[in-house]
Structure 1
């Protein structure tokens, strides 16, 4: 197994054994569920809870710049969009020649099914791109994007981000199932 295949396998194992199965059956009610007041989410245009919502379509992502301290609790919808756009989408475009993804121009999903399709597509592009990297490419900084660390470092960062946010989404699903 090559280094790039080992890096891809680390996340792919988590994806297939933990995260993606936990997303099966996600309903729109869960997708938008707000466990506390003042959550950030994906919302119909002109109903944002953030001062600077992102997205050109009928659905926007709550956001502000700079982000408030403490940061708002976010819904499954917001977290899935964050993984799809910020964790994977930007980097698929920068590093692997995929579609240029930007939080301000991304068309956010108004249903759980649509969000999962977006996530699956972006994850597939990320995983294929990582697997295709040579050892020399892993040692060098990416040729595009703002990051100047070795590509291997960027891949490990994305792996950590997906594992971290995937665990948050899984916890929200557990809480949703047990809400009063």
Structure 2
């Protein structure tokens, strides 16, 4: 039991979910699923200049729909939007602040125009995050988060790791649920029969 340090336990909480419950469920994500809008007025990732949200953020050909402050209730968001949030707001910004990734934010990020590219971005940011957490060791987890985390600057990095674990598990489970919903609402009946 001596090898079960807090650093290992925190990483295993996320990596167990990633390898046993999540990542395989994202394989084969299609562009149709990625951009599918299951409700009117969805926020998504869209070609520059085509969004109807109050603001469109991003530096490339694709932008992310946003508004500050967010409307109440906020619009429903697509898989593309949710992956954009996870890739940028949950992982890339934190990787830049704590683990040497090039600086980025919602405005400067180049959002993926395809599902495959989004999954590649997700995999890269996840790998950077997990390696970064491992590099903290035990003592690094106790270090304050610092100015990058705003009002949470004085909390230990362990609190940030727990928060990121929650965010990834929560939002990526939503992505999986949207894939299930897409499958079950777009399933074609077999020739001469009903959908079972």
Q: The TM-score by the shorter chain falls in which range? A: over 0.9
RMSD: 1.0
Name the structure 2 match of 1:98: 101
Residue 4 to residue 129, structure 1, CA distance change in 2 (3 Å): same
The answer as to whether partners of 1:140 and 1:150 remain within 8 angstroms in 2 is: yes
1:165 to 161, 171, 193: 171
User: Following TM superposition, by how much is the alpha carbon of 1:151 offset from its aligned partner in structure 2, in angstroms?
Assistant: 0.5
Using the TM superposition, name which of 147-156 and 30-39 deviates more: 147-156
* TM-score between both structures, scaled by the size of structure 1: 0.97
- For the residue of structure 2 that corresponds to 1:132, the secondary structure is helix
Q: Deviations over 1:96-118 (max 9, x none)?
A: 11111210000000000000000
Per-residue CA distance 1:126-156 (angstroms, 9 max, x = gap): 0000111122221121245123111000000
User: For residue 176 of structure 1, what is the aligned residue in structure 2?
Assistant: 182
Distance 1:175 1:101, change over 3 A: same
State the aligned residue count.
Answer: 180
Structure 2: 5+ residue stretches without partners? 187-196
Q: Detail structure 1 runs of 4+ shifted over 4 Å in the superposition.
A: none
For structure 1, the residue ranges without an aligned partner over 5 or more in a row are none
Partner of 1:51 in structure 2?
A: 54
Aligned with 1:33 (options 27, 33, 36):
36
Confirm or deny that 1:142 pairs with 2:145.
Answer: yes
* Bigger-Rg structure (1/2): 2
